[in-house]
Amino acid sequence: MVDPLPLSDRRALVTGAASDIGRAVCAALAELGADVVASDLPGAGLEALRQEGVELRPADLSSMPEVVALCSTPADILVSVAGFAHVERFSAGDTTLWDKLWQINLRAPMLLTRELMGPMTERGWGRLVYISSDSARAGAAGEAAYSATKAGLLGFAKSIAREVAAAGVTANVLCPGVIDTARSREILDGHGNMREALLRAIPARRLGEPAEVASAVGYLCTPAAAYLTGQVLSVNGGITMV
């Protein structure tokens, strides 16, 4: 008799699913047996996931009604990957972008959690995983506003973890370092020797892969991680150790 996959009969909602990390998370959860619902802005990126056999739910996370509508069907797992980044020195920053940073990076995960965690606690099982950033733990020049909104996820997840742990629901945060995505390649390849300097600073001497972030997400969502909650894990090749 073949053992069932660890996430068989579990439904997972993944936001930011069209990103490199989001796609890898969808694939990892599907491989573990989960029924995956992929959400992102409407467009070719999200449509490309259709061939992966996941359910598509387009949504703009800066819109509160659209965020709430995503939760019309209960989920056993929430993986909040979606994020909006803007890099510039804080003293010259565009304050009009602060609202968008807050809405997507922090308010949306909070709203999704509020809508989904009640049914999770009633069922006695749930997984809440928030993708933050290593800059939320260690800081990064040019990312003050972004880091502030991503850092909010750390305190939020720890607080939620205390509220729902006894009901069989866990809440954890992953902080990726520099991952080899289309966005990071665009930045690194457009700034002289930035890539070489960065690789020298990373003890692993390479960028991370989206699948390496996704494998950590997958573990946190399995029954094997039932006693792991309120934690912050950096997937960063050792560039920071905090």
For the segment 67-125, what is each residue's pLDDT rounded down to a tens digit? 999 999 999 999 999 998 766 677 676 778 889 999 999 999 999 999 999 999 999 99
pLDDT of res. 96: 82
Q: How far apart, in whole angstroms, are the C-alpha atoms of residue 88 and residue 86?
A: 7
Please identify which residue in the block is written with the tokens 């959860």: 29
CB within 8 A of 172, min separation 6: which ones? 128, 129, 130, 157, 161, 220, 225, 228, 229, 230, 231, 232, 233
Catalytic residues, by residue number, are 146
Task: Check residues 146 and 216 and name the one with the higher pLDDT.
Answer: 216
pLDDT of res. 221: 98
pLDDT category at 129 given cuts 50, 70, 90 is: very high
pLDDT of residue 130 exceeding 80, the answer is yes
**Residues 35-67 pLDDT 10s:** 999 999 999 999 999 988 899 999 999 999 999
In the chain, domain spans: 11-235
CATH code for the domain defined by 11-235: 3.40.50.720
Residue type, 16: G
**Buried (b) or exposed (e) across 115-153, using 16+ Cβ within 10 A?**
bbbeebbeeebbbbbbbbbbbbbbeeeebbbbbbbbbbb
Please identify which residue in the block is written with the tokens 């607080």: 159
For the CA atoms of 177, 53, 13, 135, the dihedral, rounded to the nearest 10 degrees, stands at 10
**Average pLDDT, integer, range 162-191:** 90
Structure tokens at 224: 């094997």
Q: How far apart, in whole angstroms, are the C-alpha atoms of residue 66 and residue 138?
A: 32
Lowest mean pLDDT among 29-33, 49-53, 103-107, 221-225: 49-53
Q: What is the pTM of this model?
A: 0.93
Average pLDDT, the chain: 91
